[in-house]
Structures are given as structure tokens and as C-alpha cells.
Amino acid sequence: AQYGSCSLRKMGAMEALELLDQLVDESDPDVDFPNSYHAYQTAEGIRRAHPDKDWFHLVGLLHDLGKVLALFGEPQ
């Protein structure tokens, strides 16, 4: 009920990927590259392993987008 109305903020997937770069991920606090880089790495790895499953490439790209909620006060 709290998030169903999307009243907090509306954004596209690319904007959310860019916002990930403002976040220090608690699971990888010592990583020196942007969080969006991990999303692109994951998508590319899946594309190489499964070139015929374009839906899976997208899942790899989007898999961490929920972490942007930490920028709005939600716990990681």
C-alpha cells in the first residue's frame, strides 16, 4: 500500500540506474566502480551466456534497481 501509488517518485529505468551510482551498497562497500557498472556487467554476462534470451538480459540489467529505495530512507 505504501509504494503502490508511486507517490514517492516516478522515474524511468535509466534514471534509476544512474541513481544507483549515488548509493554505497552495504553488501559491497569497498567497490571502486559505480553500481550501474555492476548492472551492465551482469546484463552483458547473461547476454554472452544466453544470447537468445533477451528478456534475461533485461533482468540482469534491472536486478538491483530496488536498491534505490535506500536513497529515500529505506534500509538496504
In the prediction, which pLDDT does 25 show?
77
Q: pLDDT grade, residue 9 (50/70/90)?
A: confident
d(CA 16, CA 50) in angstroms, rounded, equals 25
Q: Give the tens place of pLDDT for each residue, 20-64.
A: 999 887 777 677 888 899 899 999 999 999 999 999 999 999 998
Q: Is 38 annotated as a binding-site member? A: yes
Nearest to 23 by CA among 13, 33, 11: 33
The contacts found for 47-51 with CB under 8 angstroms, 24 or more apart, are none
**Residue 59 domain-assigned?**
yes
Q: Is 57 annotated as a binding-site member? A: no
d(CA 47, CA 70) in angstroms, rounded, equals 28
Q: Is 64 annotated as a binding-site member? A: yes
**Residue 5 domain-assigned?**
no
**Residue 39 domain-assigned?**
yes
d(CA 35, CA 20) in angstroms, rounded, equals 6
Domain total in the chain: 1
Domain extent, residue 47, equals 13-72
**Residue 68 domain-assigned?**
yes
The model scores a pTM over 0.85: no
d(CA 34, CA 38) in angstroms, rounded, equals 7
**Residue 34 domain-assigned?**
yes
